[in-house]
Amino acid sequence: MVASQAMRVLQSSNHVCKAHGRMAHVALHHSRYTESQISTAKHRCHQMKRNTPSILSLNGPRVVCAASNGQDTASDYRTKDESDIRVLVVGATGYIGKFVVRELVNRGYQVVAFCREKSGIGGKQGMEDTIKEFPGAEVVFGDVTDMASLDSVGFKNPVDVVVSCLASRTGGIKDSNLIDYQATANAMNAGRKNGAQHFVLLSAICVQKPLLEFQRAKLKFEKELMEAGDISYSIVRPTAFFKSLAAQVQLVKEGKPYVMFGDGTLAACKPISERDLASFIADCVKQEDLKNKVLPIGGPGEALTALDQGNMLFRITGRNPWFFPVPVAVMDGAIGLFDWLASIFPQLEDSAEFAKIGKYYAVESMLALDPKTGEYSADLTPSYGNDTLEDFFKQAVEEGLKGQELGDAAVFGINKE
């Protein structure tokens, strides 16, 4: 009787089943149905839509149809000690990924750093150097663009949480789709296939106004992650990193002008240090209040414009302010030229994209958008951590920028190595 009622409940849910609905886990106890009938019920429950109740509870023998986003607390990894929680970090050798691995190790998690065999700027770092960089972590080597590699190496042993710090190195069109979308999707799908319960994504605050290829690639993945249904998520959207604002430190120190677009007040950000961002990402691994949320995050203090940052550098170096304003129209001209050239020579499509990236960061703030006004808002951009850009600049002026190299993201070769 109860089993029949359960089967009818599952069968009646067919009208809300969608191909992209939530995956679900089915447990049928004491059923008199055949394996084929149970398999059909399981399949339908796997397709239950997001708004379907996560648990169908009946008197007597029960059917549990629990979507993983509302995981049974008895099996929720969050109830375990950090030392019993296994976290896989992809993008571990990237700028933020390195700090995330170290922060998770310091918090006592079992950390697996999934790395490339050759990493670092220009692929100059080999496997032995990479292993030395992550004491306390299990370092494995594979290819995030290859699902078989992720399965056999990254998920050789059970993993509770996947943290993705993957990001395209240049922001070019093909690289963005390969890394920001496909490789990140590979990591999520390998995690789902192998029983991971949570996925922490390092995204970017600029995806809220997607005009660039890497932003569209990130958003495409964000949507798939939120709709997956069988894995919970935390999507971290940070503002500018300290490193991205460091390109002109040495130039100003040497007495050269500070270059800015327009009057230097076109855009603002609340920059966050790699250490504070890594700490926030680590919070997302276990904190219940950060689960299934999109999380814009900035550093402490007020929002800073390019003009603010330049004046800060001149004050720290003791030099008189000397600004070199560049009209935004110059970028518009470059974009038009490269777009035209790319229409004739497709191999130049990335050059056009790089020009668009340059303009975007010149005129768009790295702050949360106010949904009511459509304007950027410093007040709506949460602050986190203790590290300030001023302290970072002071240290950079005194000690240099070793470890803060921009690599392939460097503009005009400034601070590349």
Q: pLDDT tens across 20-35, in order?
A: 333 333 333 333 344 4
Tokens of 69: 């986003």
DSSP 178: I
* Residue 8, pLDDT above cutoff 70: no
Residue 119, CB-side half-sphere exposure with 13 Å CA sphere: 25
d(CA 264, CA 250): 19
Q: Which of 72-86, 294-308, 334-348 has the lowest mean pLDDT?
A: 72-86
Could you please report the per-residue DSSP string of 93-161?
A: TSHHHHHHHHHHHHTT-EEEEEE-SSBSGGG-B-HHHHHHH-TTSEEEE--TT-HHHIIIIITSS--SE
If residue 369 lies in a helix (H) or strand (E), which one and from where to where?
A: strand 368-369
Distance from chain centroid for Cα 28? 37
Output the average pLDDT for the chain.
83
* Residue 296, pLDDT above cutoff 60: yes
User: Residue 224 burial by CB count (10 A; 0-12/13-18/19+): exposed, middle or buried?
Assistant: middle
Closest alpha carbon to 298 in 397, 352, 365: 365
Q: pLDDT tens across 349-377, in order?
A: 999 999 999 999 999 999 999 999 999 99
How many CB atoms neighbour CB 370 within 10 A? Answer: 12
Alpha helices in 261-348 (DSSP H): 274-286, 306-317, 328-344
Percentage of the chain with pLDDT > 90?
A: 73
Residue type (1 letter), 247: A
DSSP 19: T
Q: Which residue has the higher pLDDT, 300 or 6?
A: 300
Q: pLDDT category, 75, cuts 50, 70, 90? A: confident
Q: Under a CB-based contact definition with an 8 Å cutoff, are residues 166 and 404 in contact?
A: no
How many CB atoms neighbour CB 152 within 10 A? Answer: 13
Helices 35-46 & 2-12, crossing angle to 10 degrees? 40
Q: pLDDT category, 403, cuts 50, 70, 90? A: low
In this prediction, residue 271 carries a pLDDT of: 97
Q: What is the CA radius of gyration of the chain?
A: 24
Distance from chain centroid for Cα 323? 34
Which own/partner contact pairs does 343-351 have at CB distance under 8 Å and 24+ positions apart? 349/173, 350/170, 350/172, 350/173, 350/174
In this prediction, residue 68 carries a pLDDT of: 42
Q: Which of 14-18, 72-76, 178-182, 262-266 has the lowest mean pLDDT?
A: 14-18
